[in-house]
Homo-oligomer: A and B are copies of this chain.
């Protein structure tokens, strides 16, 4: 099983002991999980993966759970990598692929992080977990907490998509809607957790969600026969998936599983909330709070990601870039992708497709690049957003058969 050795602060480098519940380092920064990769390199082979589970737990030696019985799994990860053939041709980028995270439990990539987080909470004996979420992380926490028999206390913006609301309620979570943004939700958890006895599982406030999400990086390597793509486009709200993949690429090099150039990491944000893009353009290492954040890509509405410096570092080290697109362009690209390749992406994933023309024009992407876009969720979870494009009125049904038909 795991080769975990310790936790290490991402800023001050302080070592923290494994086997206990941790939030941030005393210096206020996120902790990263470290493994004995030498041991893993000697005692484990990538050839053995095919006989492991068809989920992210196939990478158990580089995941933190120490006992199989602690694993809370609903089938997360090992999602399909699909060629977006027609969209790629139309965009002049013919080697374009989608990692379809919509096929996870609760319909989003958040399942990976929360499966790992809740498994560790279960292993460490925690009972009450609390989160502020734009929606999908809440759904995933609610599902895994239900499966583990733990309490989930959830704070979401009042205008969270209905899918997330219904999921959380169905999973039996304690749901509070907040007249504010994810940053307000996170703050409420922070203010109340001590009195309530909650363990804070907000983004990067505990070290294990990133470990679940890094498996998106392991999988793309395995699915591409250990030759990493030239570029990865990642819709960046909290950015933990991007940070996690960058960590995975380093780990895989240490394991001797991959060699050579790592992918250009490209962070895609929404025009209405682009703190990472602004920091990138200013050449600074930290973001500043994005005022009046507004985008229908609920997962991108993160005004100041806690891991901003880790996102920006990965983008810089990889030779990537940061870019923002409009909501209209995202929905348009999402609809095109669905129409051309049969994949119905969340607006966050669609934003990456919307960014392709500008990235190609600027030279950030070459026509011959092998490109992987992470579609972080199912379009199904965003019916409100896509309904604006497809209003369900009788007139709008009018196809060549004349719309609504009343049979004899």
Contacts and interface: CB of A to CB of B under 8 A. Distances in A.
A80 B75 contact: yes
A344 interface: yes
A107 interface: yes
Nearest to A143: B342
Given A188-B405, A339-B171, A383-B162, A143 B344 contact: yes
B401 A170 contact: no
Interface in A187-210: 187-188, 192
A344 B404 contact: no
A381 interface: yes
A104 B380 CA distance: 12
A163 B383 contact: yes
A146 B339 contact: yes
A167 B379 contact: yes
Contact of A380 (B55, B86, B380, B402): B380
Interface stretch (A30-38, A253-261, A366-374, A384-392): A384-392
A52 to B, nearest CB: 10
Contacts of A405: 155, 176-179, 188
Contact of A334 (B72, B170, B172, B406): B170
B170 A387 contact: no
A170 B340 contact: no
A50 interface: yes
Interface of A: 50-51, 54-55, 72-75, 78-80, 82, 86, 100, 103-107, 142-149, 155, 158, 162-163, 165-167, 169-172, 174-180, 184, 187-188, 192, 334-335, 338-344, 378-381, 383, 386-387, 389-390, 392, 394, 397, 399-407
Given A142-B342, A179-B406, 6 more contacts: A103-B105, A147-B343, A166-B380, A167-B338, A171-B339, A380-B380
